[in-house]
């Protein structure tokens, strides 16, 4: 079983809609969780991190963490074509960071 | 966010030669840096974890004699691809771990280096 799992997609949403990206992790000892965005041909960039149960909002992005279910999600409100990218979920356990394989998101104008 | 700089962004080298890629944390000290490789349309593959002042920890299947990693200071780690072959052509990305009171452990990525071996 992989440490972090994501649906590879592709996920397509119309412009202005809410995009919902999901991630599960296997190690209950994981402490912090991260969402990165990666455009094609570029390196990942940090969107936000979360370490407490519940929701964390930053602009159009909301990260949700449910430690009991070992589930992390990222909601993107008012999706824009510029949000089209691969979204990587990562879990930190001790000194290690485990990445999912990423979900490809396409926002259709 | 924190800045991690990677150099060069693009490099073309001849088969059999060696190439060095640098990764610098510009505004923080990083005791731990990570090196990844990514082939087109594939996910990140962790190659090794680089710890300042000690030997790197390589992932299974990664040849330590081929991919030499040096983390001589708290702001610089280097990856040297030795005796490069065309199959080593890939996107190499480094990341550095920032330890902060508010952020906990967060990693930031360099811009990546495209290596083409001809």
Extract the tokens encoding A37.
Answer: 């965005």
B43 CB contacts (<8 Å, ≥6 apart)? A88, A99, A100, A101, A102
Residue by residue, pLDDT tens for chain B (118 residues) are 678 999 999 999 999 999 999 999 998 888 899 999 999 888 899 999 998 888 899 999 999 999 999 998 999 999 999 999 999 999 999 999 987 665 567 889 999 999 999 9
Of A104, A105, A103, A107, residue with least CA distance to A24: A103
CB A62 within 8 A of CB A6: no
Give contacts of A41 with chain B, Cβ < 8 Å.
91
pLDDT tens digits along A17-66:
999 999 999 999 999 999 999 999 999 999 999 999 999 999 999 999 99
> What pLDDT is recorded for position B102?
59
Of A35, A41, A33, residue with least CA distance to A93: A33
> What pLDDT is recorded for position B52?
87
* Rounded CA separation B29/A26 (Å): 30
Give which of B42, B44, B110 to mutate to test A binding, by max A Cβ within 10 Å. Answer: B44
Interface membership of B34 toward A (CB under 8 Å): yes
Average pLDDT, chain A: 94
Interface membership of A31 toward B (CB under 8 Å): yes
A64 CB contacts (<8 Å, ≥6 apart)? A50, A54, A55, A56, A71, A72, A73, A74, A75
Instruction: Give backbone dihedrals phi and psi of B89, rounded to 5 degrees, phi first.
Output: -60, 125
CB B82 within 8 A of CB B65: yes
Q: Considering only alpha carbons, which residue of chain A is nearest residue B103?
A: A49
Interface membership of B49 toward A (CB under 8 Å): yes
> What pLDDT is recorded for position A94?
82
Contact assignment for A44 to B111 by CB distance below 8 Å: no
> What's A83's DSSP letter?
G
Q: Considering only alpha carbons, which residue of chain B is nearest residue A39?
A: B41
Q: Rounded to whole angstroms, what are the CA distances from B40 to A31, A43, B13, B37, B90?
A: 30, 12, 19, 10, 8
Out of B1, B49, B93, the one facing A46 most closely (by C-beta) is B1
B/e letters for B10-46, b = 16+ CB within 10 Å, e = fewer, are ebebeeeeebebbbbbeebebbbbbbbbbeeeebbbb
Q: Rounded to whole angstroms, what are the CA distances from B62 to A18, B10, B46?
A: 40, 22, 9
């Amino acid at each position: 079983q992989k440490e972090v799992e994501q649906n590879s997609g592709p996920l397509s949403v119309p412009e202005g809609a809410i995009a919902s990206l999901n991630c599960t992790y296997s190690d209950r000892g994981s402490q912090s969780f991260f969402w990165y965005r990666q455009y094609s041909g570029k390196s990942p960039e940090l969107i936000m991190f979360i370490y407490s149960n519940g929701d964390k909002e930053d602009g159009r992005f909301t990260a949700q963490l449910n430690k009991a279910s070992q589930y992390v999600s990222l909601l993107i409100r008012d999706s824009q074509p510029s949000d089209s990218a691969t979204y990587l979920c990562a879990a930190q356990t001790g000194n290690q960071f485990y990445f999912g394989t990423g979900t490809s998101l396409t926002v259709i104008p | 966010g924190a800045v991690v700089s990677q150099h060069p962004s693009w490099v073309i080298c001849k088969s059999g030669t060696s190439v060095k890629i640098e990764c610098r944390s510009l505004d923080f000290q990083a005791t731990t840096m990570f090196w990844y490789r990514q082939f087109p349309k594939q996910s990140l593959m962790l190659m090794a974890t680089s710890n300042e002042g000690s030997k790197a920890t390589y992932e299974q299947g990664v040849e330590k004699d081929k991919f030499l990693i040096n983390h001589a200071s708290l702001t610089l780690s280097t990856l040297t691809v030795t005796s490069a072959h065309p199959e080593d052509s890939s996107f190499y990305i480094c990341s550095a771990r920032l330890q902060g009171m508010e952020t906990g452990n967060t990693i930031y990525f360099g811009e990546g280096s495209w290596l083409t071996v001809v």
